[in-house]
Amino acid sequence: MEKKINNAVLSLKIGDITEEKVDAIVNAANPTLMGGGGVDGAIHSKGGPQILEECKKIRQTLYPEGLPFGEAVITTAGKLPAKYVIHTVGPICSGKWDNEKEKLLYNAYYNSLKLAKEKGLKTVAFPFISAGAYGCPKDKASQTAIKAVIDFLKKENSLEEVRFVLFSENDYKIFEENLKNIK
Ligand code: AR6
């Protein structure tokens, strides 16, 4: 499914984000930037050690105490078909949801897109941030993801495509339903 927002396309697909040939894929990382499970684990294992090396440099320079929730940084993508990996950290929900978690998740998407724009990138693919190990309620997390991306695309004209790459048919359906309800 896709929707035109300004000059850009917002699209949904089911797939493995490590296989996307876009300018940047976004990683649902944790504040250490040292890798982990889920999509983070897949990106580091398929992308190779280059990505971790660059993350270590970011920790030594920009963020010695770790990447704050809702912020984003960028590295190259090692052996992956994408050109860059944008690392962001969504909130830890553990099944709960409130305004603070919503704001942090919104920021994770929005700041990732801001960084893509600063780098002159045109195509960005997102996973379903905070919907796995971090346990955010999927319906709320999907609505927030869509809102952040649409707000960005309405305001900025730099991107050509933002793609949500969902890892299951169920997650795809959640996004499809929420996107349909947007005028
Ligand atoms: N492609 C696309 N989506 C994927 C892939 C993939 N290859 N693998 C998993 N997903 P999670 P979080 C989906 O847990 O909730 C890590 O340990 C998955 O089905 O990866 O933000 C980090 O280091 C789910 O829908 O990220 C952090 O510690 C979504 O990606 C923590 O997990 C996000 O699940 C972050 O937790």
CA 133 to ligand 1 centroid distance, Å: 7
Q: Where are the domains of the chain?
A: 2-180
CB-ligand 1 contact for 174 (6 Å cutoff): no
pTM: 0.98
pLDDT of the residue at 182: 84
**Contact assessment for residue 93 and residue 136, using Cβ atoms and an 8 Å cutoff:** yes
Averages of pLDDT over each 10 residues, the chain, 183 residues: 96 98 99 98 98 98 98 98 99 98 99 98 99 98 98 96 98 98 82
**36, amino acid identity:** G
Cβ of 91 below 6 Å from ligand 1: no
User: What pLDDT score was predicted for residue 118?
Assistant: 98
Give yes or no for residue 127 CB within 6 A of ligand 1: yes
Residue 37, classified by CB atoms within 10 Å of its CB into exposed (0-12), middle (13-18) or buried (19+), is exposed
- Spot the catalytic one: 40, 98, 139, 171: 40
pLDDT at 99: 98
- At the topology level, CATH places domain 2-180 in Leucine Aminopeptidase, subunit E; domain 1 (3.40.220)
How confident is the model at residue 183, as a pLDDT? Answer: 73
